[in-house]
Amino acid sequence: MPQGLRYGRANRHRGEIEAQIDGERRILCLTLGALAELETAFQADDLTALAERFAGGRMKAADMIRVIGAGLRGAGNLFSDEDVASATVDGGIAGHAAIVADLLTATFARPRGETPPDP
């Protein structure tokens, strides 16, 4: 089974989340590199197009595998998409969907009360 390189607690200010995958707590993060990986995989022109795709609320199982895999790799976990496809998560498909939703929220949503920086 793949090994995680990153231990400790997730830092939401960095866009990190924690999830139980194959019975182990893992940290996931959609870093800039992970987002570039997803732009390519989903043929999105830019981050706005990628965010709009996710905001639609409809996702295939293959999409969830890609997002979870990119999040794991972004946090330094050695997981391929094939590893993610065979991994177990409490709650089955609903558990996978919850991980994706939490990861996308941590990445794209601005914390309540926070204003964007001045240009």
Which tens digit of pLDDT belongs to each residue from 40-55?
A: 999 999 999 998 988 8
**Model-level pTM?**
0.85
- Contact present, 16 and 28 (Cβ < 8 Å): yes
Structure-block tokens of residue 67: 């997002």
Position 118 pLDDT exceeds 70: no
**pLDDT, averaged across the chain:** 87
